[in-house]
Structure 1
Amino acid sequence: MSWNNQGGGPWKSPGRGPWGQGPFGPPPTGDLEEIIRRVQEALAKLTPGGSGGGGGKGFGGRGALFLVLAAVLLWFAWGTFYTVQPSEVGINLVFGRYTGKTAAGLNTNWPWPIGSVIKVPVWDQQITEVGYRSIGASADIPEESQMLTGDKNIVDVHFRVNWQIDPAKPEDYVFNILNPRETVKAVAESIMREVVGLKTIDGILTTDRASVEADVQKRMQDLLNTYRAGVLVKQVQLQSVDAPSQVLSAYRDVTAAQQDQQRAVNEAETYANKVVPEAEGGAARIVAEANAYREQTILEAKGQTSRYNQIYEQYKKAPGVTRERMYLETMEHVLGPMDKTIVDSNSASPPVPYIALEPLQSRTGASGK
C-alpha cells in the first residue's frame, strides 16, 4: 500500500494511526479476528451447502475452510511484495508503527491491513517560491514579498528555495511535520525577513545579495534540523530585490543621483591622482636642479680658489713673470673672439693704404673654419 504524507498520512487525523492510535501505539486485538470471521461467513455463503443443512454441511465447511486458506495465501503473497522506485525510499509500518526503511528495488512487508508502506520521493527536487508565483496570474504577493531593512526601508524580495527530503531521515519528514511544504515556506519567509532586517537597503540591492542567500540557507537548515523535519535546503536564490512599486521611480531617481555623485567623486580622484604625481615630480625636479646648481657653484668656487692660490704661489716666486703672463692671458681671453688686424707702426714697410683688410679677414676666418 502506497500513500503520501499530505493531509496526515494513511489516517485522516494528524498523529492518529489506522487503528485510532498514534503511529507508534498498540493495535486493538479484536479487529483482526472480526475481519477473518466476516471473510469466512462471506465465503461460506458462496460455497455449495454453505447456507443449508443435511449431508452437504460437512463438505461446505471443508470447502469454506479451503477457500479461506487459499484467500489468505493469495492475500499474503500479493500484499507482501512491493517495489520502490530509484528516486524513492520506502517507509515500513506494522500496525501503524514505524519498523524501518527500504531502498530502491523489490522489498517485502506485512500485507494490508497488518502492514503498510509509505514511498517517499527523496531525490525529487522541490521548489518553494516566496513573494511571487511563477505559475498563475499573480506575479507578486505583497504580503509575502514586502520586508523591512535594517535602515527602516521597505523592499520587495522575490526568492525561491530548492530543497529535497533528506535521504538519511525520510521518517522525520513523514512523521514529524504535518504539512512539509507550508512548513518550508513559513521557515523561508521568516528567516529571509530576519536576514533582510540586518542589512541596509543599499547593500541588499547591490553587494550583499550573495551573502544574504548563503546566510538564509544556513539559518533555514539549522532551524529545520531543530524541527527534525527531514529536509535538506539545497539552494536559496534571490529572484529580484526592488523598492516598492509605489516609490520605485523616486528611488531610481535617488539611485541615479547617488551614481552621479559617485561618478563625480571618481573623476575628481582620478584627476587628483594624475595632477598630484605630476606636481610632486616637478617639485622633485626643481629641488634636484637646485641641488645640482649648488654643488656646481660650490665646486667652481673651490676650483677658482685653488687656481688663485696656485697663481699666488707662483707670483710670490716670480712677480714680474707672473704679471706678464697674467696680462697676456687676459688679453688673449678678451681679444681672442674679436676680429682684429695688428699693424706694426715701427715696421720699415707699412701696409699700402688702399689694401682692403676686411676681405682678407673674412677669407682668413673662412679658411680657419
Structure 2
Amino acid sequence: MAWNEPGKGGGKEPWKGRDPGDDVEAFLNRLKANLGRVFGGGSPPRNGKGGAPGAGGLLGWAVLLLAIWIVFDSWQMIDERQRGVVLRFGKFDRLMSPGPNFKWPRPIETVEKVDVTQVRSLSDQVRLLTRDENIVQIEFNVQYLVSDPRGYLFGTREPDDTLRQAAESAVRDVIGSNEMDTILTGERAALAAEARTRLQATLDSYGTGLQVSVLNLQNARPPAEVREAFDDAISAREDRERIESEAQAYASKVVPEARGTAARIRTEAEGYKQAMIARAEGDAERFRLLVDEYRKAPEVTRRRLYLETMQEVLANNRKVYSGDSGNVLYLPLGGQSAGDAPMSRLPAASAALPALAPSTDTSPRTSRTGRTGREESRR
C-alpha cells in the first residue's frame, strides 16, 4: 500500500512519529551482522542490538588488516634523484632503481633512500707550513656527491666528516711539499688538481662511496703579521715579469733589425773586398807594365812619374809653390781660410822643393822672354 494513499488516514507519512537514529542504528547492526557472517560471524543481534563478536570474527579482522598491510607495504616508489638501499633483516641485499619497486613488507625488508644527484659542498680554512718553513693561510672548497649509496651508508660511520678530514690532510700534504713562492703565484690550479687526486684516492681506500667533483684552493695568503712584506714581494715579482715582457718585445723588434743591418754590412764588405782585389790586381798589372816601360826608357819614365805624382798631389791644394830664389811662396787661391797663413816667404822650406826635381835638371826654368819658372807655372 502506498505510504501516502489518499482517503486513508488523512495522508499519513511513514516517518512521522519515528526516531531517525533508530533506523541508522538498525542499518549498522545489519552491516555488522553481514560482515560477521563473512569472517566467521559472532552472535546474532538481539532485539536490534549487536551481539558480542566471537573468536572467528577477531581472526577475520586480523587477516583483513594483515592483507591491507602487505598490499601497501610491499612496494616502494624511488625518485629519479634517489637510489634505494634494501636491507633484509638489517643486512644489505640490493639497490633499487628509480620508479616503483617491490619488496618484502616490514620488518622483513626496509629501504633507505639516498640522494645521488645532490652536489654537496665543504669549505674550511687552515694554516699550513710550507717546505721552506713559512706559514700560509689556505681556504679550500670541496664539492662532491654520492657515487655509491651502499658505501655511503655502511663504508664509514660519518662519511661527510671523513671527507672533511681527508681533504684537510690532502691539502696539507700538497702545501707542505711546495715553497711559499710557488703557492702564492698562479700555480694554485696545479696544486688543487694534485690535492683532488690524493683526496679521491683516500676516499676510495676508506670506501666512503663519495666522488669529488671539484677542489679549489680559493685564497692562499700569508698570515696578517707578515702580509705587507709579502705584498711587496709580490709587487716586485709582477714588476719583474712586466720588465721581462717589455724586454722580450724589444728583443723581438731589435734582433731582426740587427740581423738585417748585419746582412747589409756583410754584403757591402763583400763588395768592397771584390773591389779592392780588382784594384790591387789592376795596380799590380799597371806596375808590371810600368816596369817594362822603365826598362826601355828609364829617364823618360822617371820624368813622367814625377810629373804625374806632383799633379796628383798639387791638384787639390789651394797653394801654389814656386822654387825660384830658394823660397816657398804661399798664394791662397779661392779665398783665405781661417787656418791659412798670410802670404809670406818661408826660407826654411826653400831647400825641400829642389830636391824633388829630377837629378838631370834641378835649376829654375826660364822662358824665352826671360821670365822665371814662377810665371810659367802661373800660366
TM-score > 0.5, shorter chain as reference: yes
Q: Do residues 236 (structure 1) and 215 (structure 2) align? A: yes
What is the percentage of aligned positions where both structures have the same residue? Answer: 33
- Is 2:83–2:115's contact at 8 Å kept on the other side of the alignment? yes
1: CA distance, partners of 2:79 / 2:110? 16
1: CA distance, partners of 2:55 / 2:155? 49
Q: Do residues 227 (structure 1) and 221 (structure 2) align? A: no
2: CA distance, partners of 1:271 / 1:49? 107
Partner of 2:120: 126
Shift of 1:309: 2.0
Larger CA Rg, structure 1 vs 2? 2
Partner of 1:74: 68
Partner of 1:153: 134
Q: Which runs of 5+ in 2 are unaligned?
A: 1-39, 44-50, 318-366, 369-379
1: CA distance, partners of 2:308 / 2:166? 107
- Is 2:42–2:56's contact at 8 Å kept on the other side of the alignment? no
1: CA distance, partners of 2:310 / 2:228? 92
Quick one: structure 1 residues 264 and 187, their matched pair in 2 at CA, closer, same or farther if it must change by over 3 Å? closer
- Is 2:127–2:138's contact at 8 Å kept on the other side of the alignment? yes
1: CA distance, partners of 2:66 / 2:234? 77
Partner of 1:301: 280
Deviates more, 1:325-334 or 1:157-166: 325-334
1: CA distance, partners of 2:189 / 2:60? 71
Secondary structure, in 3 states, of the residue corresponding to 1:156?
strand
Q: Do residues 99 (structure 1) and 78 (structure 2) align? A: no
Give the partner amino acid of 2:113: K
Quick one: structure 1 residues 213 and 267, their matched pair in 2 at CA, closer, same or farther if it must change by over 3 Å? closer
TM-score normalised by structure 1 residue count? 0.61
Quick one: structure 1 residues 230 and 318, their matched pair in 2 at CA, closer, same or farther if it must change by over 3 Å? same
Partner of 1:245: 224
1: CA distance, partners of 2:59 / 2:259? 113
Q: Do residues 86 (structure 1) and 65 (structure 2) align? A: no
Shift of 1:268: 9.9
Quick one: structure 1 residues 106 and 230, their matched pair in 2 at CA, closer, same or farther if it must change by over 3 Å? same
1: CA distance, partners of 2:109 / 2:128? 48
Q: Do residues 209 (structure 1) and 188 (structure 2) align? A: yes
Query: What is the alpha-carbon root mean square deviation over aligned residues?
Result: 4.5
Q: Do residues 113 (structure 1) and 107 (structure 2) align? A: yes
Quick one: structure 1 residues 273 and 62, their matched pair in 2 at CA, closer, same or farther if it must change by over 3 Å? same
1: CA distance, partners of 2:261 / 2:237? 36
Count of residue pairs the alignment pairs up = 277
Q: Do residues 194 (structure 1) and 188 (structure 2) align? A: no
- Is 2:77–2:100's contact at 8 Å kept on the other side of the alignment? yes
Deviates more, 1:76-85 or 1:311-320: 311-320
Secondary structure, in 3 states, of the residue corresponding to 1:92?
strand
Give the partner amino acid of 1:242: R
2: CA distance, partners of 1:264 / 1:80? 72
Q: Do residues 164 (structure 1) and 153 (structure 2) align? A: no
Partner of 1:44: none
Quick one: structure 1 residues 313 and 235, their matched pair in 2 at CA, closer, same or farther if it must change by over 3 Å? same
Shift of 1:333: 8.0
Shift of 1:316: 5.9
- Is 2:42–2:57's contact at 8 Å kept on the other side of the alignment? no
2: CA distance, partners of 1:210 / 1:276? 36
Shift of 1:302: 2.2
Deviations 1:102-129 (A, max 9, x none): 1111111122222110111011111111
2: CA distance, partners of 1:102 / 1:263? 58
Q: Do residues 175 (structure 1) and 154 (structure 2) align? A: yes
Shift of 1:238: 1.6
2: CA distance, partners of 1:274 / 1:281? 13
Q: Which has the higher contact order (CA 8 A, sep 6+)?
A: 1
Shift of 1:266: 3.5
Partner of 1:3: none
